[in-house]
Structure 1
């Protein structure tokens, strides 16, 4: 068999060879050019550059700018100046137009990268993406080589040099002409969607035949590229509910199988002279950038962390001297935000005012007219909303209840280059709900389903100022509201002068503490003492400071002095255990503030039907407002709960007195649990207004109350909180402990056992929840872990299960006694059931 196959193979080979030979021996007609045999062809050599005028001929349409762009036919040729080689360029790609229903909008950022052009080895130009992770200031030292060896920048493009531009003498190359058409009409990630975006939007194959470059425009410091790109979409799965899922399935993709986006990429040259970095300080709330720094003489790598901020500098030396003497001066380049022309006209003045409100804060740093809002000029072809030279508040036609304030900054120094604030239309709906639920008890203007333009305008102004604060580099200061004593929230004169929080960057929406009899009229946040101080810290110009270290020393003295005033403190938005740093809270005592807040909610609830009334409409608005009110109540419970197991964290440096960490006093923790027992675990029947519930829900609120109680109990008995209580009570017996917490809860939740009274359905639900959570805590598996202080803690290996077991034993005995004497049938069933649950849980497995 093997021989036959071999013979057959040989015959096939002979036939193939004779066939090829016969083809080669075909006669050639006279005048016909013969092709050389394939094996005799020479490999194509790399195309050599042509003379400049042969490439950039008379048909070329040229734009001069950062990069000279020549349009020749359907090609876009970039002329890269020799002076631009190695220079760093920020590329910012934004959506210009988007498919509807994806939760993305024209004007939003897609990605940003730093790139640089680099000479290749053989008539080519490379484009590299630059990532800042490690660096060294010692450019002329041996360690530079180690840093470069550990931070290779990826090559994202390789382009043949089509022509060299010579200098006036025709000798030196001063420019390199390359064809970058394929970089922009393709799916190169730098100028297109990233992999995560594609997954989220469920797009896949790029469609080259339906993608193209719209325009390319070049300006002195930037080049703008507008592109259209089409993708196929991931096919939908068979479903019983084929309605497109907004935010998951793009409706256009469901209909057509493809989606089309329009993008704008800004290529903007990073400053030739980098701004001096300002060292980040945890005591002041600025966004920051960082990278690891390796120095020749250092014994370890240092992480250089620096604040993100705009560059404000005097116009000249004379102005710098004036500012040093205490005079206000105008900066060389002010901060300007343009309003999207798509913004409804009646809201434009309020948004502009929210921007201009920051002028007062900059005066504290020595600047006048440092910031302003401007209306977008009409009929100016040199300006584009996506152009990275302009900061714009973009208005989105979206039902999202939000706004946000990002910035684009130089990763080398933290210098903010521009910002595009995002403003969603439905932020007004959120503002109405917040303001009505928090202030309608004291402000008659809030008692309407639709606010008048003046009130809504002022609400918009407040949000605009907050978002602009973010674009100035400021983070949320969640500790600012804690600086105001609760009783001062009810003082009209104090509120008029100071407001209810010292920072507009706090999430302290409106004054929900003020009572109707107080006469408080100032219910809005405004730019406060902290905001002015923070702008002074970030934007003061130190004429005589020689370097970053000199500035850091001056700023440190400023900060230590500022810390003498509690209103100038920063409270991080990321601390999980400091009750002073919370969202949506007010005052220096969450229990007192929440009690006042609940009094106002009790006044508001019965009026919701009247305030939401609209003839011919169903009760959707009433339902939404009721949910907002119960949500506000939940927040109050959360504010109080964070005090239990709380630890104060105050940023400190070696040259400041006091400790960084302090345990929340036991008296405050006791007060918090007592509040929860009284306001939540004692059934809040006032929430169950049947006149309201009968119009919006089929149930009467039993499960709704249970849900709120369940959430709070779960939080109180969470592993991380219990571990903190173990740690802090072990330091000092006076500190609140796990055993005290469980005992206090047990006494409040099972108060009927002492009075021998019937237990209603709400309390029966609550008591079952409590027992279940103690059983779960007692039965902790080795897999139940938590983290504290950076350590992984196995709950089963702590005292927590032991304490839970002891609590259950004590409770079991109390339940047995109470069940024996109970005369209420359902109460007896309930108590005996709890005894059985506890005994069953304690049986060895």
Structure 2
């Protein structure tokens, strides 16, 4: 019988009490009446602190640092100085080693939290977790009490003080020796995995007997604790009615029932002199931090939002003066990224170059040698890859096709303290597919199954620069590519000077617009005009700005001046309505750019067999490339579709002219529908290359075409888009409307009704989808809603069902007329069927 911990305790307690009662009975029988029984043993009094030299004796091995760490026998004791009490410490826990097969990798962040030590009662020290939600600058005002009363920080540990360290006089305490091992060799959430991660990794109970502290190292501003933690795993379940499983099963867990991870916790002191905050500006794409601020004289609380960035400061006042005169100066502390020694040697120079490429942008802000990449010094015992003092690009042996660039920053000010960029090995596979599908029509180097090292190295360099940009505080600028006119994407001189997008932080991969006859050679993204401007905004040093408000005013003037140049605009990655802000797109007109892109896809498609073949291999490589090509085509359809019902978001402030929001011009929306009618709804039979499909698919592609058409048409007629069109067309008769949208779609999708042409299987499928979508709109109920700008609008209470009904009435008449004149048997059946469906929808009770 399996007992839980509580049951065992109770069981043991009952056995003990039973034995004690029996013993008392025997004693009562043996002893004369009146013999006193032994008194119950009193609990041990709480241990008082001992003299320092009795706890930290001559055998102790001591490391001086943020926390002085003493190793006595096999135990670590930690000495917290009196000066450290109340100061804030950032703790960052990372995986050092992980089990295989779980999607987690050594070097990735597990947890981060600010903590502080403070005195407790009865000779104890407390460790509190600090969360920044509300604050006040008025430390000497009554409102401070209200803020503190509503922002109590949780106690995560309490330590008995084993010994006090005294000053030379022997009267004052200057240090406190405590045993923190129970915090680190246990499963304390802040220094371990949180409950969500455990659930996702199918991790269960902590195994104390299989967990321990490996080592502790201490340095001037940080202390590093390496631990090994073992957990039991959730056993696999067998059921006749299996439920979807949350999370993954580690192969090691399935084999052994437990998994072991190695973790490294860095405790790093936050800057004693906090960096000046730089007020966030939505016109410039920086990550931001925020908290609510309560001021004594304010009528309401304000939210303090500030940019996340590194601290760059001159070495001296003389240097600051030189920089003010326009000279480049070196910062007091440059930004350094180390390369993981696990990185393949042949890629290291390219990754380092991707880091160093940002030097040009920092020169634009007045700094030289402000950023650099360095190779990891493997023989330096004072350095660790997980040490929070160092920023590292970590290389993961993983099948994931990705890379990412996070940062760890001071929550008080936004100062970036360090970054560990994640780089997955299989990113190269993704880069190969992107570059081949987007540029092989113009670049012969892309026409191979495996790229040469120089080309792949340059692709790696581009990704490295992009991810480093994130660690500098920069968000994606999805509007940057829209600043380049489409025809300039075909201009070799313009491309050589400017590139195809103004920001490497856009998702504008490679120049798919350039045609073979153009002679364009510059096909890669690179650090552009916007990136230089954004670094100038974030990293300019204002010697004479006395405070944040003055600095904000200076930055505002800089930003207004910059916004006269379209290439310096920021286009948010979060706007779902602005067609200028999209991923994977190029140019200022999605219809023109996509048309050029399709021309290149048509050139590439017939060559995929030759460019992917290898003797003795199956056609999986060919299938992957074909799917990538179809995926690129799908993206073009999405880029165009977003123009319909589009709303432009122009970042503006009170002192800037122009509207913050504008409706996408009707002419552009008309152009978008015309493109879709021509390039998608007129069957793209060129995708159905039988030489390829016969090798990779069992079907001939009917359903594949239908799925793309269905998805696009469903998106065009979605409740959200139609509600936007209802709202925007109400502002002006010149704006594109729901009725115009459906009419334009009908002209393209049902063009055979006027020409009396035979309707093939692809078009019959598409027309059925169109009729089904209109019927759905007529049958809208009260639960059908459209979302626009955070509002949920009931579709049934708008003109949408009325317009759909009117369109179906008109369409039914056309279908009837066409069915009477067509000579094709299947076309006639199809038209009659559509008439029947429409009649049933319009008169459901008949």
Scaled by the length of structure 2, the TM-score of the pair is 0.96
Matches within 5 A, 1:105-120: 105-120=105-120
- C-alpha separation in 1, matches of 2:19 and 2:162: 47
The answer as to 2:821 corresponding to 1:821 is yes
Q: Is the 8 A contact 1:309 1:472 kept in 2?
A: yes
CA contact (8 A) 1:102 1:246 kept: no
Map 1:361-760 → 2, pairs under 5 A = 361-760=361-760
8 Å CA contact 2:199–2:247 kept in 1: the answer is: no
In 2, the alpha carbon distance for the partners of 1:186 and 1:346 equals: 41
1:55 and 2:59 correspond: no
Post-superposition offset of 1:14: 15
Structure 1 Cα separation of the partners of residues 19 and 430 of structure 2: 82
1:27 to partner: Cα distance: 7.5
Total equivalences in the alignment: 825
Aligned pair 1:267/2:267, yes or no? yes
Equivalents in 1 of 2:324, 2:225: separation in Å? 43
SS in 1 for 2:730: helix
* 1:217 counterpart = 2:217: yes
Per the alignment, residue 802 of structure 1 pairs with 802
Does 2:27 align with 1:23?
A: yes
The answer to whether the 8 A contact 1:77-1:178 is kept is yes
- How many Å separate the matches in 2 of 1:240 and 1:632? 41
- Partners of 2:422 and 2:483 lie apart in 1 by 30
The residue number in structure 2 matching 1:97 is 97
Structure 2: runs of 5 or more not aligned? 1-16
CA–CA distance in 1 between the matches of 2:228 and 2:204?
A: 16
Q: CA deviation at 1:60?
A: 1.8
Report the equivalent of 1:176: 176
CA distance, structure 2, for counterparts of residue 580 and residue 465 of structure 1? 23
Cα offsets for 1:55-106 (capped at 9, x unmatched): 1122222111000011223332111100000000000000000010011000
Helix, strand or coil at the partner of 1:37: coil
Shift of 1:785: 1.6
Q: Deviations over 1:617-646 (max 9, x none)?
A: 000110000000000000000000000000
State the SS of the aligned residue for 1:238. coil
- Structure 2: how far apart are the matches of 1:770 and 1:564? 44
> Which residue is equivalent to 1:779?
779
Instruction: Give the Cα separation in 2 of the matches to 1:14 and 1:70.
Output: 45
Shift of 1:747: 1.1
Task: For residue 87 of structure 1, give the secondary structure of its aligned residue in structure 2.
Answer: coil
Aligned-residue RMSD, C-alpha: 1.9
The answer on 1:309 being equivalent to 2:309 is: yes
Q: Which residue of 2 aligns with 1:31?
A: none
The CA deviation at 1:127 is 0.5
Contact 1:101 1:247 in 2 (8 A): no
The SS at the match of 1:216 is strand
SS in 2 for 1:147: helix
Give the Cα–Cα distance (whole angstroms) in 2 for the partners of residues 25 and 53 of structure 1: 53
Contact 1:216–1:225 (8 Å) recurs in 2: yes
Cα offsets for 1:397-447 (capped at 9, x unmatched): 001000000000000000000000000000000000000000000000000
1:297 positional shift: 0.5
1:101-180, aligned counterparts within 5 Å?
101-180=101-180
Instruction: For 1:786 and 1:750, locate their aligned partners in 2 and report how far apart those are by CA, in whole Å.
Output: 27
Residues 481 and 585 in structure 2, CA contact (< 8 A), matched pair in contact too: yes
Determine the C-alpha separation between the residues in 2 that align with 1:288 and 1:352.
Answer: 27
Matches within 5 A, 1:6-85: 20-23=24-27, 36-38=38-40, 41-85=41-85
Distance, in Å, in 2 between the alignment partners of 1:297 and 1:676 is 58
For the structure 1 residues 212 and 25, does the alpha-carbon distance in structure 2 shift closer, same or farther, using more than 3 Å as the test?
farther
The 8 Å contact of residues 202 and 247 in structure 2, kept in 1 or not, is answered as: no
Q: Give the SS at the match of 1:720.
A: helix
Structure 1, unaligned runs of 5 or more: 1-12, 29-33
CA contact (8 A) 1:103 1:247 kept: no
The alpha carbon displacement at 1:122 in A equals 1.3
Does the 8 Å contact 2:199/2:246 carry over to 1?
no
CA separation of 1:241 and 1:511: change in aligned 2, threshold 3 A: farther
Match of 1:839 in 2: 839
Deviation at 1:20, TM superposition (A): 2.5
In the alignment, the residues of structure 2 paired with residue 387 and residue 187 of structure 1 have an alpha-carbon distance, to the nearest angstrom, of: 21
1:195-344 to 2 correspondences below 5 Å: 195-238=195-238, 248-344=248-344
TM-score (norm 1): 0.96
Deviations 1:522-570 (A, max 9, x none): 0000000000000000000000000000100000000000000000000
- For 1:14 and 1:245, locate their aligned partners in 2 and report how far apart those are by CA, in whole Å: 47
The verdict on how the C-alpha distance between 1:16 and 1:429 changes in structure 2, with shifts beyond 3 A counting, is closer
Distance in 2, matches of 1:378 and 1:303, equals 45
The answer for the alignment partner of 2:812 in structure 1 is 812
- Partners in 2 of 1:246 and 1:341 — Cα distance? 35
Q: Tell me the secondary structure at the aligned position of residue 224 of structure 2.
A: strand
- 1:121–1:757 distance in 2 versus 1, CA, 3 Å: same
Report the CA distance shift for 1:353/1:44 in structure 2 as closer, same or farther (over 3 A). Answer: same
**Equivalence for 2:6:** none
Say if 1:103 and 1:246, in contact at 8 Å, map to a contact too.
Answer: no
- Aligned residue for 1:4? none
Cα distance in structure 2, aligned partners of 1:520 and 1:420? 36
Distance 1:246 1:434, change over 3 A: farther
Q: Name whichever of 102-111 and 75-84 sits farther off.
A: 75-84
Check 1:24–1:436 CA distance in 2 against 1; reply closer, same or farther (3 A cut): farther
Distance 1:460 1:694 in 2: 34
Q: Secondary structure at the match of 2:584?
A: coil
Q: Helix, strand or coil: the match of 2:178? A: strand
Q: Is the 8 A contact 2:200 2:246 kept in 1?
A: no
